[in-house]
Amino acid sequence: MNIPAGDDVVTIQADEQHRFGKHDYHAKGNVEVRYQDMLLKADQVWGNDETQDVEGEGHVYFEQARQHVNGTKFKFNLASQTGVFYEAKGKADPGFVFEASEVEKLGEDKYRIKNGFVTACEDQVPKWSFTVKDAVFRVDRRVTMKHTFFRIKKIPIFFTPYLVAPTSDNKRQTGFLIPSTGNSTRRGRSVTEAFFLTLGRSADLLAVAEYFSLRG
């Protein structure tokens, strides 16, 4: 099924496709919805070709450029590139991983996550993470977090009501850097956190703090 959408076309592939009413449609079985550089997959999708609203459920997958999200269901508007993914896990390259009960896409490269965590570690149980009640991030820029716990594995280390950190290590910008962890026979498990402050085009300040579980 090809649906005109302004100067572009929404392409829908599925095992079954049905239209009902003037603008509504239902697709079922291995559904793929393609629009511009976006791809949505689900077991079932309902949509309206006038508003460009789509909803889907079952084995949800979203892809756009270097952004990938998996979830149980979604509500999305193709024209505005905005929507919500539920019980979602995602990754925004390079190396920014997130998981939350709700992941809201606010624009082409901007997201809000609710009741979840963010990390740069791709292990099944991340070596470290920030658990958050609410966070907003832009791909390859920074993440702003509220009501945040920093955790090693599943152990909370410290709490902060507000925190800003980069989602990439490629750019000079003020904020906390991605933490690093280590182990030592003399000092035990260690956590290193740094704060980077830009002071202009050619100057900056780096403050580093280290925590050791054992004293040497």
Query: What pTM does this model have?
Result: 0.77
Res 62 pLDDT > 90: yes
Kindly list the domain boundaries of the chain, sorted by start residue. Answer: 2-163
Residues counted in the chain: 216
Class at the top of the CATH hierarchy for domain 2-163: mainly beta
pLDDT band for 205, please (50, 70, 90 cuts). Answer: very low
**Predicted local confidence at residue 6, as pLDDT:** 67
3-state secondary structure of 25: strand
167: which 2 tokens? 């989602």
CA dist 95 and 146 (Å) reads: 21
Give dist(CA 30, CA 6) in Å, integer. Answer: 26
HSE value, Cβ hemisphere, 13 Å, CA-based, for 171: 12
pLDDT at residue number 199 = 40
The three-state secondary structure class of 140 is coil
First to last CA, the chain: 67
